[in-house]
Amino acid sequence: MRKIVFIIGFFSLLCGSLYAQGLPAFWNKLSNELNSYTETMEESSPPPFTPRTMAEWEENQGILLSWGSGSYSDEIYDVLCEIIYHVLQEDDLNIFLVCLDSNSVKQYLDNEHDIQSPRIKYLLEHSLIGIWARDFGPMTIYENNIENYSLMDWKYADREPGDGEVPQVLDDYLNIQRYENNGDNDFSGIFEGGNFMCDGHGTAFSTEEYDNTHELFNGITNSRWLDVNPLPFPCPNYNTDHIDIFMKMLDEEAILVGRFSEGDNDYGLNDDIDANIAMIQTQCETHFGRQYKIHTIPMPSPTLYDWGDGLGWTFRSYTNSLIINKLVLVPTYDHISDDEAIAIYETLMPGYTVVPINCTALDGSAGAIH
């Protein structure tokens, strides 16, 4: 059975995998750049086959990174550089780095971090704004299960139109087939990768309420866009909308769920998290007909942050991580729970190299590595 499971309130990577994670603290520096950008909108082109969307832990040839508009702090770019460094330690992994100006990025990598590599492929997008490549990047799909991979390009948020061009930029470089949905047919909304987490067998998890996700997915049940069936669940009661803030699929049957430590002020969110865990265990089954194995990982207490239009919660999440072949990059926050979080990943993922990435510079942006 193919399905999308919509979670009560939880379910994107500087890598691909900023604003889709919520309005970041540094957004005011960038907001004026939006007015002059328009995304090229072409007629939708669905794949002529039933696609299989790959899972994150399947074999990858590389990762997509975005350097953004150049308006971010050096501390944030240092997080990107740390990701790049560790990915380059793995054999045969390319980095597709989208930027406005490759010369300035090369200079920063070389001068500040002594990073040079022919495996860094610089792609230019002159309207680029954000750094959350998982949210606006394409998804890899397969024909006939494992044959003829191609890219699925979903419509990205109008609030960052330049970022929505990145899938085409990558496709032009790789010269492979790209299928595009621009919301002009049987899927009428936006699609952001941080709110979509799949097992590679037709089951996907997402939050229900975000941008009317459930209604949109329900309209494409068994359609040419996604071979999935949605299951509606109650909506969240907190601000961060993407499921990768609170949840990580480690494989087809293991799910890691963030939960606030006992004694910390969880603002009542642990009740929602526990309800989600119970729901998955009682109402969902894996591709193999078994119960999901649910593991929990601590989360620092949520904090209130001024998003520009009022106060909202922001989360420091250890599930906002990246699995790339046998490498696992896990965000850390100079918090007492960091060591415990890394140890949990090492226990649950034997045979993988687990690397902590300090993401304190991204505190207040509602995202980390993802």
* pLDDT confidence of residue 20: 32
- Domain-embedded: residue 370: no
Q: Is residue 262 part of a domain?
A: yes
Any domain includes 139: yes
Per-residue model confidence (pLDDT) at position 344: 98
Task: Write the CATH number for 177.
Answer: 3.75.10.10
As a whole number of angstroms, the longest Cα–Cα distance in the chain is 53
pLDDT at 197: 83
Tell whether the model's pLDDT for residue 310 goes beyond 60: yes
pLDDT, position 362: 83
Total number of domains in the chain: 1
The whole-model pTM stands at 0.84
- The phi, psi pair for 51, rounded to 5°, reads -80, 150
Model pLDDT, residue 262: 77
Q: Is residue 334 part of a domain?
A: yes
Q: Is 191 a member of any domain?
A: yes
Would strands 147-154 and 52-53 be described as parallel, antiparallel, or unpaired? unpaired
pLDDT the model gives residue 187:
59
Q: Where are the beta strands (DSSP E) in the chain?
A: 3-7, 52-53, 62-66, 94-99, 120-124, 139-143, 147-154, 178-181, 197-198, 203-207, 230-231, 247-249, 254-260, 293-299, 303-306, 311-314, 322-324, 327-332, 353-358
367 in any annotated domain: no
User: Would you say residue 112 lies in a domain?
Assistant: yes
Higher-confidence position of 341 and 196? 341
Q: In this structure, are residues 272 and 234 in contact, taking their beta carbons and an 8 Å threshold?
A: no
Tokens of 146: 């494992």
Rounded Cα distance between 230 and 132, Å, is: 26
Cβ atoms of residues 20 and 196 within 8 Å: no
pLDDT 10s digits, 116-129: 999 999 999 998 98
User: 10 pLDDT exceeds 50?
Assistant: no
Question: Model confidence at 21, in pLDDT bands (50, 70, 90)?
Answer: very low
Q: Which amino acid does the sequence have at 203?
A: T
Q: Please report the pLDDT score of residue 70 as a whole number.
A: 81
Q: Residue 284 — φ and ψ, nearest 5°?
A: -120, 150
* Single-letter amino acid, residue 333: Y
- pLDDT tens string 161-180: 688 889 999 999 999 999 88
Which tokens in the block code for residue 38?
């328009």
Judge contact between 324 and 317, C-beta under 8 A.
no
pLDDT tens across 175-202, in order? Answer: 999 988 776 655 556 677 777 888 888 8
Instruction: Note whether 176 and 149 are within 8 A (CB).
Output: yes
Q: Of 76-90, 92-106, 226-240, 267-281, which gets the smallest average pLDDT?
A: 226-240
pLDDT tens digits along 230-265: 433 333 444 556 778 888 999 999 999 998 887 777
User: Does 369 fall in a domain?
Assistant: no
Which residues span the domain enclosing 130? Answer: 3-362
Closest of 177, 180, 176 to residue 154, by C-alpha: 180
